[in-house]
Copies of this chain bind each other. A is one copy, B any other.
Amino acid sequence: METTQRADQQRSADRRRRELLEAADRVVLRDGPQASMNAIAAEAGITKPILYRHFGDKGGLYAALAKRHTDALLDSLRAALDAPADRRERVESTLDTYLAAIEARPQVYRFLMHPAEGSPGDQGFDVGKHSAPLLRRMGEELAQVIEERLDLGPDSQRLARVWGHGIVGMMHAAGDWWLGERPCSRAELVRSLADLLWGRLTAAGDRVGGPGF
């Protein structure tokens, strides 16, 4: 049975690939995003060329690894976004899901967001290829949800995309800052961000003594 043989080989290769990815995961979690290919290979109990046969180059391995985490995170976010609750609650729950994730595994988060993108031969620096695919994917995803569910009048598509990326960026930057300084609890941060989206910035009155922001 040739086909079964082939299928076995394929399955075996896939399993191997998953093992390698898990080893890479452990190393990245331990050493941060600058983990070397040598270190990853050693952790997996093999040597570099095998990694290269499986993933092409470091970027390929990064992409595969990032995809796993990104998919997982996006699944959680989608769940929060789709929960049966009112809008404010869903927004808060989505923010909280994201923040909980980056709080739980900051190394992974850092790897996804700041992927030490200095591969030699990385000429052609289109701005736009960078800034972590995770951000882009989250932005697009959120944009889609917004456009599907909200009535924004004409220009709804453009508005939704701008807002999707903008909100994701807000969440990301605030989360990054919060993770570094821990100036307040997660719940407080969530509330504050939701308040911002709810227009509390523009509703605030000017302070006495000067023109408002």
Q: Which residues of A contact B (CB under 8 A)?
A: 32-34, 81, 84, 87-88, 90-91, 106-107, 109-110, 113-114, 116-118, 120, 122, 125-131, 135-136, 139, 145-146, 148-152, 158-159, 161-163, 165-174, 176-181, 183-184, 188-189, 192-193, 195-208, 210-213
A87's partner among B126, B162, B196, B202 (CB-CB below 8 A) is: B202
- Per the bound structure, the CA–CA distance linking A2 and B204 in Å amounts to 59
Pick the 6 closest A-B CB pairs, nearest first: A128-B180, A169-B173, A199-B199, A170-B170, A162-B192, A32-B125
**Contact status B203-A189, CB under 8 Å:** no
**Contact status A136-B197, CB under 8 Å:** no
**Contact status B169-A128, CB under 8 Å:** no
Chain B residues near A139 (CB-CB < 8 A): 173, 177
- In chain B, what residue has the closest Cβ to A115? B114
Chain B residues near A188 (CB-CB < 8 A): 158
**Contact status B206-A199, CB under 8 Å:** no
**Contact status A196-B166, CB under 8 Å:** yes
Chain B residues near A110 (CB-CB < 8 A): 125, 127, 130
**Contact status B32-A149, CB under 8 Å:** no
- Per the bound structure, the CA–CA distance linking A210 and B139 in Å amounts to 21
| 6 A-B residue pairs with CB within 8 Å | A81-B213, A87-B213, A110-B125, A118-B118, A128-B179, A169-B171
